[in-house]
Structures are given as C-alpha cells and as structure tokens.
Amino acid sequence: MDLLELIKQPWPWYMAGPLIGLTVPTLLLIGNKSFGISSSLRHICAACIPADLPFFKYDWKKEAWNLFFVLGIAIGGFLATNFLKNPEPIAIASSTVTALQALGIQDFEGLMPADIFSLDNIFTLKGLIFFVLGGFLVGFGTRWAGGCTSGHAIMGISNLQIPSVIATCCFMVGGFASTHLLLPLIFKLF
C-alpha cells in the first residue's frame, strides 16, 4: 500500500489525538498563543457587529491570528475532503447505527447524515433545530463557559486548570442529556 493510500484511510485515535495535542506547544512556541477556537466567534462579533457592547470592545486585530487559524481549519477540511478522502463509507458502531435508525436516520454513508445536514433542510423545522438552535447553544454556551473543547478540555486541562476540568465535565453532562433525553423528543417532531 503506498503512502497516499495509507493517508486516505481514516486515521486512528492514537494518530489524531497526539497530533491535536501537539497543537498546544506548536502555538505556544511559534507565537505565544494559547490554543482556543471559540474565541474566534467573539473576534468575528468584535470585528463585524460590536454594537458598542463592552464585551466586544477590544483590539480584535491583535487577536487576528485566531481568525487565520480557523480559516486554515476550513481550508484543511476542504483539502482533506477533496484530495485525501476515504472512498469507503464511514464505519460507525453498529449499536449507534441501530439507535439512530430507531430515531429515523437513514443515511449512513458520509461523515454527516444527509437526513439532517442537507441544504433542503435549511428552511424547515429540522433546520431551525439542528442549525439555528444547535448553533446558538454552541456559541452562547462556549462564550458563557469561557471556552470550548479546545480552550478548556485540551489547553485548560493540559495546564492543570480545575475550572477547565469542571467545564469539560459539564460539556459531557450536557451532551449526554441532550443525546439521551432531548434528541428522542426532537426526532418525534419529524
């Protein structure tokens, strides 16, 4: 198997995890930057719609590195999907497939189920819940918590910060509750 074929395979956790972990020292050493992604959303607010709110009155240009970083993530997503794509359907745990089929998911081919994440859904109730409500909770929640999976779970815990451990536990509790209590109710709507 040549190298490109190997790269096209889905990467196991023990490759991906350490690479993501290495982002922490890389950012610290190339420019004294603490790893954190949700702050990019705040910088976008500060740059585009500050509306005189004190929370968005700061020199966002000094933090522009974060915007370059997330733009890079989007470009990386484009490159990986278009040039390094795994030709096989995603291998999902069969127990998860069964559970999601029971909720009404039918498409298990790609990284995201077309039942939810298709353009046709934008102006439907599905779109309102999965894009608008879900996205709002992600933006509002991460900012209230002062960070997301990168800023708290990875950077914060790497730096042995107890508040980050608390935040990460709350992320998980919210996710478990949402998956087991909320999603079954949501899928009853369709």
Contact call for residue 89 and other proteins (CB under 8 A): no
CB nearer other proteins, residue 87 or residue 145: 145
Cα separation of 26 and 35, whole Å?
Answer: 9
Write the interaction track for other proteins spanning residues 8-47; mark x where CB under 8 A is met and - where it is not. Answer: --xxxxxxxxxxxxxxxxxxxxxxxxxxxxxxxxx-xx--
Rounded to a whole number of angstroms, the minimum distance from the CB of residue 34 to other proteins is: 5
Amino acid at 20: I
Q: Where does residue 131 rank: exposed (0-12), middle (13-18), buried (19+ CB within 10 A)?
A: middle
> What tokens appear for 19 in the block?
């690479």
Distances (CA, A) of 190 to 30, 121, 122, 133, 170: 49, 12, 14, 16, 29
Q: Which of 65, 104, 106, 125 binds other proteins (CB under 8 A)?
A: 65
Tell which residue, 54, 36, 8, 19, has the closest CA to residue 152.
36
Rounded to a whole number of angstroms, the minimum distance from the CB of residue 71 to other proteins is: 6
Write the interaction track for other proteins spanning residues 101-120; mark x where CB under 8 A is met and - where it is not. Answer: -------x--xxx--xxxx-
Binding to other proteins (CB under 8 A) within 148-187 occurs at 148-164, 166-180, 182-183, 186
Rounded to a whole number of angstroms, the minimum distance from the CB of residue 162 to other proteins is: 7
> What tokens appear for 187 in the block?
């899928």
